Amino acid sequence: MSRLFTALLLLRQCFAYDTLLGFNSRPLVETRPLEEIYDAALKEGGTVTVWHGGDEKNQQESLKSAFESRFPGMTLNITVDLSKYLDGKIDQQLYNNNVFVDSIILQTLQDFPRWQQEGALLNYAPVGLDKVYPAFKDSISASWYGYSIFFWSISWNTRKLPDVKSISSYGDLLKPEFKNQLVLTYPNDDDAVLFAFHQIMQELGTKWFDGLLKQNPRWVRGTATPLTILSAANYSQSATFTSFGGFNPGNNVKINFPNDANFVSWPQTAAILKNAPHPESAKLFHNYLLSSEYQRTVSLSVRQDIKSSNSLYPDIMHIPRTNPTAFARFMNDRITVERLRFFFENRLGSAQGLSPLVDDI
């Protein structure tokens, strides 16, 4: 009997420890309408601080404008920087018990399960979370979830390449007409781009990469930079496959998805920090992100019930040549990530230029 009592006591202590760290604590499921959360956020002070992964400081101005227009009196303080830098700064805040950021939206998908296990994230289910694809969220704790699908397509400027009707494969980019025309992000400087190259070379081999180098591409830092360069009239480069512009990336720019190797797609992932200084404002922001109102504005929704405005690609799960869950597995395999990074660094050298590059182009 004493052994049984001891075992039960140990089990109880384990449950208490898990609950303390937030491992098994049930999430708070939001039932309030958006306007009620809005009122609570205004009473709290009307400010939410968000760190968002990206390349250019003004990259999320449209999100800021949309949120503040939808909720007058609210201020969205949004900082955009590379996710690989922001996650370390979040760790510093957690270590120093000095959390001043409310919400985080990052590309470093491997961080979210770790932070959840450390008890750093708020277990909170916004309205609409039940509609999010199961693969894009922590269904148990509701501590993190994708909010929008990002993807790299093949993109080119039709004005600069008037004779190119379509680019349907990565192999096409090795054709003579693309000599000196490509602008690409260093794969050893961004894990999503690294995964893009990894998937291509799994299908086409290192021979393809050798051929790519012979095309004399311009290598840059930041994934917004290639689209900026190929769109600008004062730069000669005209094509890329390492930029995200959605289905409508701009005037004179077309996109296509490759048919000879997989392209990268993933749910850009969001969470509220458990000790966020403005929890009601953060909840308002996250409920807005997952609302049908906002999800209908993104290229590809994370919600199963909302279809894309592009009739050819109604949702991410039915686009050929991509697996939106594969990038998360890749990001968790840090041994493979580091091995590949050094492979490309050995071929290309370390990434050169400002990071982000916006002030240098």
Do the first three CATH levels of 2-150+266-317 and 153-263+325-360 match, i.e. the same topology? Answer: yes
Residue 346 has pLDDT above 80, yes or no: yes
Nearest to 295 by CA among 264, 267, 328: 267
How many CA atoms does the CB half-sphere of 24 hold within 13 Å? Answer: 7
Peptide bond into 356 cis (omega under 30): yes
- Burial level of 291, CB count in 10 A (0-12/13-18/19+)? middle
Count of Cβ atoms closer than 10 Å to residue 175 Cβ: 13
Position 25 confidence tier, pLDDT thresholds 50, 70, 90: confident
How many CA atoms does the CB half-sphere of 122 hold within 13 Å? Answer: 25
**Strands 47-53 and 75-81, how do they pair?**
parallel
Domain at 153-263+325-360: CATH architecture: 3-Layer(aba) Sandwich (3.40)
pLDDT for the residue numbered 355? 64
Alpha helices by DSSP H, the chain: 2-21, 34-44, 61-70, 83-95, 111-117, 191-214, 225-231, 279-290, 292-295, 326-332, 334-348
Length of the chain: 361
* Structural domain boundaries in the chain: 2-150+266-317, 153-263+325-360
User: Which amino acid is located at 72 in the chain?
Assistant: P
* 3 state SS of 251: coil
Position 9 confidence tier, pLDDT thresholds 50, 70, 90: very low
pLDDT for the residue numbered 253? 96
Q: Which two tokens stand for residue 120?
A: 């750093």
Residue 305 has pLDDT above 60, yes or no: yes
* 3 state SS of 12: helix
Angle 27-32-33 (CA atoms, 0-180°, nearest 5)?
A: 135
Position 357 confidence tier, pLDDT thresholds 50, 70, 90: very low
pLDDT for the residue numbered 18? 43
Residue 11 has pLDDT above 80, yes or no: no
- Ordered DSSP codes for 92-142: HHHHTT-----EEEES-TTHHHHHHHTT-B--EE-TTGGGB-GGGB-TTT-
Contact 50, 76 (CB under 8 A): yes
pTM of the model: 0.90
pLDDT for the residue numbered 7? 43
Residue 153 has pLDDT above 50, yes or no: yes
User: Which CATH number describes the domain made up of 2-150+266-317?
Assistant: 3.40.190.10
